[in-house]
Amino acid sequence: MEPWGHFTVSEYEAVHRVVGDLAVHLRIERGALVVGIDAPVGPLTGFGPTREERWAAPGPATSVEVAPALPDRPVVVGVRNPFRLAPGAETRLQVHLPIWAQVHLEDEERTLLAELPSAVLSQTWWGGKTRGELAYWLPAEVEHAEADIATAAPTRAVCVLRIANRSTRVLEVDRLAIRAPQHSLFRTRRGFVTDEARIVYLGEADAAVDVSGAPPAFEPDAPRVQGPRLLLPRGLRALTFAHLRSLELY
Amino acid sequence: MLPRLQQIADTAQALADTATAPLTDTVVAVAPAVVPTPDEAGSLVQVALILGLGIPLLAWITLWVRSVVSRRVGPHRGVITGKLLFYPGLVFLVALVMREMGFSLTPMLGAAGVVGIALGFASQTSVSNIVAGFFLVGERPFVVGDMIEVGTTAGRVLSVGMLSVKLRTWDNRFIRVPNESLMRSEVTNLTRFPIRRVDLVVRVSYDADLERVHDILLDAARAHPSSLMEPEPRVYFVSFGETAVHVKLTVWSTQEERRELKHSLPALMKRKLDEAGLPMPRLPGVMPLAIDAGGGGV
C-alpha cells in the first residue's frame, strides 16, 4: 500500500503510514499534534526505536499530507556492476533511488512537520579531504536501458542518467554522484521517475551536467510531485565520477 | 597663536596682577569684552564642522568598509581594516582641528617623536602583539568560529583583535591569548577541514583470529550512523604487545559528528567483539581499550 496521501488527524483518529523501512505516525494528544517516526533499532545511537515531536495542534482535527520527495543530499552510488565507457561512447543508465516522505500540515504555509527516508542510508563524503560535501551512500546496480524505464517500487524513484564520454580516455564508472536535490520527481504509470540528467565527460577533471527538469519522454504529461530543492546553474562543471573529486561541485 | 588670543592672555595676566596688588593701591582695570572677531568665528565654525561632520562621516565610512571587507574576506579582517581606517582618520581630524585653532603642528610633531620613543620603549610588548596581529591576519591560520589548540589551551575563536585572540573553551571559560604567543607557538586548527579521522587502538588476545577481528571492527565502523563510508574505515596492525596484539581502527566522520562517533564507537566495537567471542584481554590497572584522539583530543 502506498504511504502517500491526504489524511485527517484528530483525537479519535490517528494516522500511521509505513514508508519503506520506516514508519510515521500522527495523533492528537491533549491538544498537541504528536509526530512520531519509527526507525529500525540502530547499533547504539542515531536511529532510535521512536522519535517523537510535539506541535501545537491548529485544531481538534488537523489535515496533513504525506508526500514523496527526493533525498535532501546527493546520493553516491557505489556501482556494484562497474563498467567502462570507451571514448566517444554514450550510455543511458537507470538507478533506483529511495524516496523520502515529507509530512506537511495542510495550511497556507504547508508547514513541514517531519521528513523521513524510506531506507536508512549510510553517510559518505564526496570530494577531497579538504573540500567536498556530505552525501548518502547507496550500493546499487545500475541498469543499462536505452529505451524502456523499469517499474519502480512504491518508495523508489527511477533516476535516468545519460552519460557521454567525449574525452580521449576510457571512463571507468565505479562511483556515481546523483545530484538528488537538483532533480524533480514525477508520478507516472510506472511509479516515480526523476527528470533525466545528461552528463558529458570531457576529460581528466572536466564534466558538464544538465538536468532536464522535464517529465520522462514516455509520459510527457506526468504530474510533477516535487520540484528541485536546489537549482542547478546551467553549464556548470560537475563532480560526478569518482576520479573527478578535486573539482568544484555543482 | 592668534593675535586675538594673545590679547586675551595679556588681559588675564593683568587681572591676575591686580588681584595680588596691595589694597591701598587702588587699581581699576577694566577687562575688555571678549568678542570673537569674524576670523575667529569662522575658525570656530570650521572646527565645529570638522568635528560635527568629520567624525560621523569617518565612523560611517569605517562601518561600511568593515562590513564590505567582512562579507568578502572574513569578519576578523573586517574588524582590523575598520580599526586601521578609523584611528588614522581620527588623528587626521584632530590635526585639522588643532591647525584651525592656531596651533603649529611642527613643534607638536617633534614633541610627539620624543613621546613616541618613550612610549615605544614602554610598550614593546603591545607593539609586538600588533605586529603579530598583522601576520595572523595575513597568514590566516584560523578565523572567527574555528576551534583551535594553542599549547594546552583549546577552544573556539570568539574574536581576532589587534592585540590578542579571544577563545571560549569547551568548559565555557574565556581565554585571551596574546597574538605574540600565537606567533611563537604551534597552533592547531581543529575545524579547518570538513571531515576528520578518529583513531581507536584495540588490544586483541593472541588467541584471536586477526582476520576475523579485522572484519568485525570494519563492520562496527560501517554500522555506526556517524561514520563515513568514504574515506573508507581501515584496520591497521600496530604492534605485538607484551600481553596482546595492538590493532588500530581509523574511521572518518564530519566535524559535527566526530565527538559522537569517538564516544560511542568504542562501545559498539566492544559489543561486537564480545558477541563474536573475542573479548579484549584484561590486565589489572590497564585500560583494555585505549583511544588515540587522532590529532587533537576534541
Give the per-residue SS3 of chain B.
CCHHHHHHHHHHHHHHHHHHCCCCCCCCCCCCCCCCCHHHHHHHHHHHHHHHHHHHHHHHHHHHHHHHHHHHCCHHHHHHHHHHHHHHHHHHHHHHHHHHCCCCHHHHHHHHHHHHHHHHHHCHHHHHHHHHHHHHHHHCCCCCCCEEEECCEEEEEEEECCCEEEEEECCCCEEEEEHHHHHHCCEEECCCCCEEEEEEEEEECCCCCHHHHHHHHHHHHHHCCCCECCCCCEEEEEEECCCCEEEEEEEEEECCCHHHHHHHHHHHHHHHHHHCCCCCCCECCECCEEEECCCCCC
B246-257: pLDDT as tens digits: 999 999 999 999
B252/A47 Cβ within 8 A: no
Task: Provide the pLDDT for residue A153.
Answer: 81
Q: What is the mean pLDDT of residues A130-151?
A: 83
Residue A15: closest CA among A103, A98, A99: A103
CA distance A37 to A116: 8
Residue of chain B minimizing CA distance to A242? B230
Task: Provide the pLDDT for residue A248.
Answer: 34
Residues of chain A contacting B, Cβ within 8 Å: 42-47, 76, 78, 122-126, 129-132, 134, 137
Among the partner-chain residues A46, A47, A125, the one whose CB lies closest to the CB of B195 is A125
State phi, psi for A174 to the nearest 5 degrees. Answer: -125, -15
Residue B223: closest CA among B263, B269, B259: B269
The parts of chain B modelled with pLDDT lower than 50 are 1-2, 19, 21-29, 288, 290-291, 293, 295-298
Mutate: best of B192, B230, B271, B273, partner A, most A CBs <10 A: B230
Residue B240 near chain A (CB below 8 Å):
no
pLDDT value at A243 more than 60: no
Residue of chain A minimizing CA distance to B254? A134
Residue A141: closest CA among A150, A130, A131: A150
What share of chain A in percent tops pLDDT 70? 85
Q: B165: which strand partners?
A: B160, B177
Residue of chain A minimizing CA distance to B229? A124
Does pTM surpass 0.80?
A: no
A45-102: pLDDT as tens digits: 344 557 788 888 888 888 889 899 999 999 999 999 999 999 999 999 999 999 998 9
Task: Provide the pLDDT for residue B192.
Answer: 92
Residues from chain B contacting residue A41 (CB–CB below 8 Å): none
Task: Provide the pLDDT for residue A40.
Answer: 63
pLDDT value at A134 more than 90: yes
Q: Distances from the Cα of A214 to the Cαs of A221, B105, B155, in angstroms?
A: 10, 74, 50
Among the partner-chain residues A44, A78, A134, the one whose CB lies closest to the CB of B267 is A44
Task: Provide the pLDDT for residue A247.
Answer: 34
Mutate: best of B229, B232, B250, partner A, most A CBs <10 A: B229
Q: How confident is the model at residue A249 (pLDDT cuts 50, 70, 90)?
A: very low
A108 or B187: which leads in pLDDT: B187
B229/A122 Cβ within 8 A: yes
Task: Provide the pLDDT for residue B3.
Answer: 52
Task: Provide the pLDDT for residue A91.
Answer: 92
Task: Provide the pLDDT for residue A45.
Answer: 39
Residue B284 near chain A (CB below 8 Å):
no
B140-160: pLDDT as tens digits: 889 889 999 998 899 999 988
B226/A46 Cβ within 8 A: yes
State whether the Cα torsion A79-A83-A86-A88 is positive or negative. negative
Task: Provide the pLDDT for residue A15.
Answer: 87
A45/B260 Cβ within 8 A: yes
